Amino acid sequence: MTGKRVAIVTGGTRGMGQAISLRLAKDGNIIIAVYRSHKEQAEKTLELLKKVSPESGIYKCDLNDEKAAASMVDDIAQQFGRLDILVNNAGIFDFKFLEEMDGVYLQKVLDGNFKSQFYMMRAVVPHMKKNHYGRIANASSISGNFSDVGLIAYAASKACVNMMTKISSAELAPYQITVNAYAPGIIHTDMTDAMIQERGEIQVKQISLNRFGTGEDVASLVGFLVSPEAGYVTGEIIGVDGGFFKVQNAYRAYEYVEENKNK
């Protein structure tokens, strides 16, 4: 049994997930980064992980398959003799208006963003209970609380994540398992690139910090939430969004600074 903490990071080989995997590895954890496709990218991530944490690895799994997810978790726990951290980062992002949606599409988004997280939580909890310790961080989104046209399915899936996070944090507290969610704003990854290209100039004006986020911005928050130091933080949905829509017309602050810089 290893003395290091063992972390599973779903969707852990690309974008935000890769940044999270590398951050947790640098923090001294053994990382198993889970992917479903893009094998070449997964292998590149593995090379980066091995440089920091030689015991780390990658695992291919379809998280929409409850049995496959449970089998993967059992394999990892058996290999290392423990399982301490779950970062439920995998998910999908897509736009569709109500009239374009059907039941198949709605189910696909709910499966990818909510049910897969539920399956993973169900699978890891028995292993965490054995050690009376666990850290779970679920990927939510500003869309879980903030309405946006074209995101009925996506927003609903993230609202489900929020409620699961809050309720499970109380249910698992007797076992010293904390459950929190990180709620990114607009993070520039390959998944959001098309949206940023389409309407980024408009959206960035409503971000107080006047820039889109990076995977490292998200990883910094997740690194804290799954650390021993966050033992008294649970049931929280924490934004990492640069102040997106915290106030109206955030861009006016920059206009003011520009207008008065020579005064």
Please pick, among 35, 154, 175, 251, the residue that the annotation labels catalytic. 154
Residue 83 pLDDT class (50, 70, 90 cuts): very high
The CATH code of the domain at 6-189+212-242 is 3.40.50.720
Decide: residue 197, CB within 10 A, 0-12 exposed, 13-18 middle, 19+ buried. exposed
Please state the domain extents for the chain.
Answer: 6-189+212-242
Q: In what order do the strands lie in the sheet with 177-184?
A: 57-60, 30-35, 6-10, 85-88, 134-139, 177-184, 237-240
- pTM, entire model: 0.94
pLDDT category at 1 given cuts 50, 70, 90 is: low
Q: Examine the pLDDT at 182 and tell me if it is beyond 90.
A: yes
Q: Is the pLDDT of residue 10 over 90?
A: yes
pLDDT of residue 12: 97
CA distance 7 to 30: 6
* Tens of pLDDT, residues 198-222: 888 888 999 999 999 999 999 999 9
Nearest to 146, CA basis, from 237, 260, 34: 237
Q: Is 154 a catalytic residue?
A: yes
pLDDT in tens, 146-162: 888 999 999 999 999 99
- What's the rounded Cα separation, in Å, for the pair 213 and 114? 23
Overall average pLDDT of the 177-196 stretch: 90
